[in-house]
């Protein structure tokens, strides 16, 4: 059922067939990953398959195929790399400027600590940029999912996800970009996914 749905959606999107995975987990989740549009993997949890009907599953899979079509996996990896490079570069430039203003005897010891603190601060600001950009990509994938699977299916999938938000595992921060649901309130600034209500 999952394979046939993905095959239909990828054909509609003009994409080659990705690898398809189903993983055993009670959480309601799905994700797309891979190095390119031609070498992608779309996976869904058994919890999602048990919780959703065929139309809702098609909506979720349409969203994931839209991620593949948009090249979001590579785009977000490149963006994170660029942000990290800027953080390291500007931390050193600012630290150099600050340390050259003080007493020359304290420059070497203090410079390392300044770089360290600046990397934390700039990394924090960089994560806000990355999270904002990721949220925009999620809205775009929702639109793509609506075009591929149908508007009502996409809306139905999002409503079902909202009803089951407590069934998305949020313990593994490293996998946050693969999760369906985002945070609410001021924590939404750090979330890679928009709140389901906004979607």
Q: Which residues are catalytic?
A: 64
Q: Which helix (H) or strand (E) holds 44?
A: strand 39-45
Residue 23's H or E segment, with its range, is: strand 19-23
Phi, psi angles (nearest 5°) of residue 61: -65, -35
Helices and strands (H, E) in the chain, number of each type:
6, 3
Identify whether the C-beta of residue 55 lies closer than 8 Å to the C-beta of residue 153. yes
Residue whose pair of structure tokens reads 């919780």 in the numeric block = 51
Can you say how many angstroms the Cα of residue 8 is from the centroid of all Cα atoms in its chain? 24
Q: Could you tell me which of 159, 168, 142, 164 has the C-alpha nearest to residue 29? A: 168
Main-chain phi, psi angles of 23, to 5 degrees = -115, 145
| CB neighbourhood size of 125 (10 A) | 12
User: What's the token pair of residue 110?
Assistant: 């203090």
Q: Which residues pair with 42 in a beta bridge?
A: 20, 32
């Amino acid at each position: 059922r999952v394979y046939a749905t993905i095959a239909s959606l990828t054909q509609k999107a003009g994409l080659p067939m990705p690898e398809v995975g189903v993983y055993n987990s009670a959480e309601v989740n799905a994700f797309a990953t891979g190095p390119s549009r031609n070498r992608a993997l779309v996976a869904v949890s058994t919890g999602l398959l048990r919780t959703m009907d065929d139309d809702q599953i098609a909506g979720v899979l349409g969203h994931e195929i839209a991620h593949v079509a948009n090249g979001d996996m590579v785009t977000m990896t490149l963006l994170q790399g660029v942000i990290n490079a800027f953080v390291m570069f500007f931390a050193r430039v600012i630290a150099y400027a600050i340390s050259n203003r003080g007493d020359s005897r304290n420059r070497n010891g203090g410079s390392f600590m300044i770089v360290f603190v600046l990397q934390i601060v700039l990394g924090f600001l960089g994560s806000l940029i990355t999270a904002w950009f990721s949220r925009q990509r999620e809205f775009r994938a929702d639109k793509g999912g609506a075009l591929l699977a149908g508007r009502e299916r996409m809306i139905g999938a999002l409503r079902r996800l909202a009803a089951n938000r407590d069934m998305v595992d949020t313990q593994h921060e490293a996998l946050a970009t693969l999760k369906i649901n985002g945070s609410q309130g001021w924590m939404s600034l750090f979330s890679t996914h928009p709140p389901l209500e906004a979607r």
